[in-house]
Amino acid sequence: MPIGTPVSSSGARCLERILAASLIGTLGQRPANNVRVVACRVVEMLTVEIEGCRASHARLAARIEGLTDEVVRVPSLLPAWSVGHVLTHLARNAEAMFHRIEATTRGEVIDQYVGGAEGRASEIESGAGRPANVLINDVISWSQRLDATFVSLPDDSWNRPVRSGRGDEHPVARLPFHRWWEVEVHLVDLAIGHTPADWPQELVDRALPRLVAGLANRADPRSLMAWTLGRGPAPGLESWV
């Protein structure tokens, strides 16, 4: 399938109908043309996000290929996590997405990680000390498997629910963006040459408004207001999750 067209034209039309049907309940009884316009935009957005995710996986593979056992033991930019911890997390995150999508084909909604937050932490800790070549193969193989899943997913699967790590549910269609964001942010955390300046503009255009909208919940509101007005220093932020 050509790069940049993970949703076929016939699949896109089918997906538009599925999304339009679901949007009627969300948007109310709007004119059919309006619903179709929104559905078409969703299809376009999903196509960009699937391709963005694939491209980020390719950048990730290029950055980590050749890492040594010594390098994967050094601290990452994340507190208490080595490069090996971050790589293990990236592999398990892709695996968790794959299994949640697979579960939807059976009509099931499963937890993101077996054992919840504790199970996630345990898997990351136990996997972080593996040899570099094992860590690299784990990340790349699961990333490629997830890419293949995104481009081959049946059209009626995109609106099926999956469960997040927080316990809420959202459509499968949100996963490509979530993974794209995850990979690009953690590429920086690895501290192996990828910086925020390397983040794709299309990702920044999608992610930044969401982050800005959540600032009020992560800082003292008056300090935040003063900073945005140029009347004070940048406030301390609570951790982003």
pLDDT (tens digit, 9 = 90+) per residue, 123-179?
999 999 999 999 999 999 999 999 999 999 988 889 999 999 888 999 999 999 999
- For residue 45, pLDDT over 90 is answered with no
Most distant pair of Cα atoms in the chain: their distance? 61
pTM: 0.83
113 close to 167: Cβ distance less than 8 angstroms = no
Contacts of 56 (CB under 8 A, 6+ apart): 180, 183, 184, 187, 200, 203
Instruction: Report residue 58 as tokens.
Output: 């390719």
How far, in Å, CA of 125 to CA of 216, rounded? 32
- For residue 90, pLDDT over 80 is answered with yes
Q: Which of 32-36, 44-48, 178-182, 189-193 is the least confident region? A: 32-36
94 close to 145: Cβ distance less than 8 angstroms = yes
How far, in Å, CA of 17 to CA of 35, rounded? 10
How far, in Å, CA of 35 to CA of 19, rounded? 9
What are the two backbone dihedrals, phi and then psi, of residue 232, each rounded to the nearest 5 degrees? Answer: -175, 170
Question: 40: how many CB neighbours lie within 10 A of its CB?
Answer: 16
Q: Higher-confidence residue: 169 or 11?
A: 169
Mean model confidence pLDDT for the chain? 87
How far, in Å, CA of 187 to CA of 195, rounded? 8
92 close to 123: Cβ distance less than 8 angstroms = yes
- For residue 32, pLDDT over 80 is answered with no
Domain-wise residue ranges, the chain: 56-199, 204-233
- For residue 3, pLDDT over 50 is answered with no
Q: What is the CATH number of domain 56-199?
A: 1.20.120.450
